Structure 1
């Protein structure tokens, strides 16, 4: 009886291990994020690490574009009330695949698209976005301390309606980072 129990337990354990889906980096990790001061204003410098699931790659190569949104929020803490939301901004990168030319196309905020031979080169625009101005110098109070929140996510609302329904039920489609929070002190200049 004891031997049958061990055998049954071993069989159950092996079934559970075999039924696990193949591992992939389903979440986005923010490896670097900071606010930099420039003559034009304040810029976001960020780097993200992630891989697309096989379902997302297949969707892309079927001709359906994917939209990645980098979001940033800057708030000023107040001791007497809720934090003041000073700046909110986002940058959208659209990646598509042209079946006829077998090239990936990527554009930032609707700009003229650039062509890439492979997916990793196109995803470099998402993983390492260019330093984009999120606030003019006059938008932040000199010497004030601000809380900054940054995240990257796959925008499933831009997908065709049938795929939006799949995105609700399938974890492969919930590609997003957690909010990375940091503090930033505006220049005194």
Structure 2
């Protein structure tokens, strides 16, 4: 009753809660060539970030995962980690959205080895970013074949790669804070 009264009295609080990022799916799969993590992230892009994108300035997202092996005598041992770096930019001449995906940080000196995709709408591009599919963590021999594994997954908007004026303006503003982390014990499922 008290929660309902507070949410009715503070409509901004209920809106902020519905807009906060969330991880809706997290799965660990074993395939013939290794162990993969699949995740689904739900988030909304704030208006300030959309305006920056529409001006042709790229924004960067990072998805990171770590797998641990439990030890009864000490802290858990990190056995694998992986990251996926994503760069989203608007191309004003073609009026399309370009997404670069790479296993290494994307820098100004070049994209290195990356997958490029073009999208007609921002919604389609954000849907592709929110699906982190088959992030390769390593070999089964390195990770182990236990029934369950402690996994830590993080997804964030990387403001450190924005141009300097935007980095300074983003400090302390909650609109630029898109970050979510989840730790869970996941069963190692066989790939279909």
TM range (shorter): 0.7 to 0.9
Aligned counterpart, 1:159: 162
The answer to whether 1:181 aligns with 2:173 is no
Structure 1 distance, partners of 2:49, 2:163, is 13
Aligned counterpart, 2:40: 47
1:186 Cα deviation after fit: 5.2
The answer to whether 1:75 aligns with 2:68 is yes
The answer to whether 1:139 aligns with 2:142 is yes
Could you report, residue by residue, the CA deviation over 1:1-40 in whole angstroms, capped at 9, with x for unpaired residues?
xxxxxxxxxxxxxxx979x69x465532100001011111
1:180 Cα deviation after fit: 1.3
TM-score by length of 2: 0.79
Of residues 83, 86, 90 in structure 1, which corresponds to 2:79? 86
Structure 1 distance, partners of 2:23, 2:76, is 24
| Structure 1 unmatched runs, 5+ | 1-15
Q: Which has the larger radius of gyration?
A: 1
Could you report, residue by residue, the CA deviation over 1:55-108 in whole angstroms, capped at 9, with x for unpaired residues?
000011111111111110111121211211111211011110011111100011
TM-score by length of 1: 0.81
Corresponding pairs, count: 171
Structure 1 distance, partners of 2:80, 2:164, is 31
Aligned counterpart, 1:29: 22
Q: What is the alpha-carbon root mean square deviation over aligned residues?
A: 2.5
1:185 Cα deviation after fit: 5.0
